[in-house]
Chains A and B, each alone.
Chain A
Amino acid sequence: MTDMTIRPDRAPLTVDVLAGPVSRLRKETAIRWFFFSAALVSIGISILIIWSLVNEAWTFISQVDWSVTWGETGWFPRRGLYDMPTLLVASLIVTIVAMFVAGPLGLGSAIYLSEYASRRTRSILKPVLEVLAGVPSVVLGFFALFFISPQLIERIGRNGWLVIGALIVLTYVALVAGWARNLMKREAGTPVSVQVQRILMLTLLVAGALVLVWWVNGVAETADTFAVKRSGQLAAAAVGVGILTIPLVASIAEDALASVPRELREASAGLGARKATTTTQVVLPAAVSGIVAAFIIGISRALGETMVVFMAGGAADASQFTSSPFDGGLTMTAGMASLATGTDSVVGEGLTFQSLYFVGMVLFLLTLFLNVVAGRFVNRVREKY
């Protein structure tokens, strides 16, 4: 109080005083630029990825004789045969089988953890998924080759798996049919766009079911080549990929379930619905976008998984075309990895090196598409609640 006369607020105030010292402004600006440039790195990396892919893939696209990329006997890059269907079909097989493992297990775990588990159970079981999520894919590759392949795939055998596969496919078809019937019942009063979406999705699922039936049937007729191999087969690799994908599907689905407001559950329970009814009739429909997103991201992950197929997929370097999971084969990713091993041979003759980038670009575009679609579904959940 005694020094009130020299308090700064007695001196006249100008804009310059309130502008603060230039040095501080400079420092803050410099720091801001530093953080900004760190954020720009992500754009830089994206551009570099796209540029590197396009750059090399373009050479391939413009120089390759397209007749060797379709309808050849298989993927033999070092002989100049780049049969894309070989890789694409193998990727498709691995992804489908993997999702038949990861989908039910991941979603089931998520529902149990989010709707049924007590706090205590949750605190014990959740870490299991978290540990599983951290297991490196080379470990799954090892496990697929030395356990899944001999103990699961080969022991049960081709015929056993065909029966199991048929059962799984039938269950799936039944689920789709039941769901479709439910949808049709509640059709009245929904907007046209939603109806169109539903019908599209339904068509997709039914088509999927038909393709699956056709495929299992086809495998049953043709796959007589099933033999005990020390190098594994696509099915073993696919199960390994599926195991890797479980925690991912579970965690995204669990997030989606957690975002369903508690009031919805309470309202349903308040009407006297049982827990299972509440879960299947109220919670799951409310979280359906997020669950779809979980599946799509799972598919994207399975499509991009490399090491498990590379180690346990039953083919090295090159592969014959096959549509049977009991054969050895190369997915897009495994094809890339096997091209790159064996040291310097990547920078080999012809378009071998460039084919690597062409496959990489196809994979990149596919996963990007899936991730963008999944992002849409996730956003839809966010908007709703």
Chain B
Amino acid sequence: MVNVTPSVQDALKGTRVDEDATTATDDIAITVPTAAASSGPQDEPSGDDLVFDVSELSVFYGDFRAVRDVNMKIRRNEITAMIGPSGCGKSTVLRSFNRMNDLIPTARVAGNLLYRGVDLYDERVDPVEVRRRIGMVFQKPNPFPKSIYDNVAYGPRVAGRKKGLDEVVESSLRKAALWDEVKDRLQDSAIGLSGGQQQRLSIARAIAVDPEVLLMDEPCSALDPIATARIEELMAEIKAEYTILIVTHNMQQAARVSDRTAFFSVELDEANDRRTGLLVEYTDTAKLFSNPDDQRTENYITGRFG
């Protein structure tokens, strides 16, 4: 915990300064300046660039308000990281971005959540359509008990696609950096893959439907450092095509991969004596980790939380 800050700083330096970095860091090196240039609080993204416009979002489980006061504007082709202590509602917020919370009977959303100008919680909106555009990768790898091929082809198939599946499967697996490892055993059960491979399979499965946004809930929490590095590389590679939101407990990871970071925290809600999460600070990643505005952010990233 003590050396969190130095390593975070190193990570930031790495992304910005090091010219001889891999393709992955190269990509970030290109985007960071532009993001930084347009990232002042006074600068509002708009039109085509604004993917999510979240204002005063609260999520409830029954009577319990799990998160409140979420205000975020998420830009196209950026990676946004969500960090914060356990139970502060990161997953809850992330899941409300593609209406996964609809699957929990008690969950309810209040406030505004606009996706490219359309209210995602408009009663005419079909969650299925939303999820085809906004894909999700879960914390625990959850391959279907089917073949590797059928796992990846599942999304396109339910979307009604019948032709060209081979190409989709191959290109998705390639993007997820899994192709070389599985190309000879596409018909084997996906359950037999290692944890890291399963997680990359989940990513391949998510991008096979060609979504516009990828939501990733702690995609690396079950992985070793090598697999983690691959997935981070992958994110950098595909970010030109996707807008990515990633929840992570790993601050170095947030600093390495993301353009912007949202810090969530928990506070005791006196009204019902339960701990409610809230968005504390949301800004440019470099700023958040080097010079946060909020004291709570400062405490958290320097390891003085709680």
Contact = CB atoms under 8 A, between A and B. Distances in A.
Contacts of B130: 18
Interface residues of B, number: 19
B117 A18 contact: no
A9 B125 contact: no
B222 interface: no
A32 interface: no
| Chain A interface category by residue count | 10 to 19
Contacts of B120: 18
A194 interface: no
B117 A13 contact: yes
Contacts of B116: 9, 12-13
A4 B240 CA distance: 10
Contact of B241 (A4, A13, A24, A25): A4
Interface in A3-17: 4, 7-10, 12-17
B125 to A, nearest CB: 5
B269 interface: no
B18 interface: no
B241 A15 contact: no
B128 A15 contact: no
Given A1-B241, A4-B241, A9-B116, A15 B133 contact: no
B125 A1 contact: no
Contacts of A19: 124-126, 129
Given A1-B240, A9-B212, A15-B124, A20 B129 contact: yes
Interface of B: 48, 115-120, 122, 124-126, 128-130, 133, 210, 212, 240-241
Interface of A: 1, 4, 7-10, 12-20, 24-25
26 contacts: A1-B241, A4-B241, A7-B241, A8-B133, A8-B212, A9-B116, A9-B212, A10-B48, A12-B116, A13-B115, A13-B116, A15-B119, A15-B124, A15-B125, A17-B118, A18-B115, A18-B120, A18-B122, A18-B124, A18-B129, A19-B124, A19-B126, A19-B129, A20-B126, A20-B128, A24-B126
Given A18-B118, A24-B126, 9 more contacts: A7-B212, A7-B241, A12-B116, A13-B115, A14-B118, A17-B129, A18-B129, A18-B133, A19-B124
Q: Which 9 A-B pairs have the closest CB atoms?
A: A20-B126, A20-B129, A9-B212, A13-B116, A18-B125, A19-B124, A18-B129, A13-B118, A15-B122
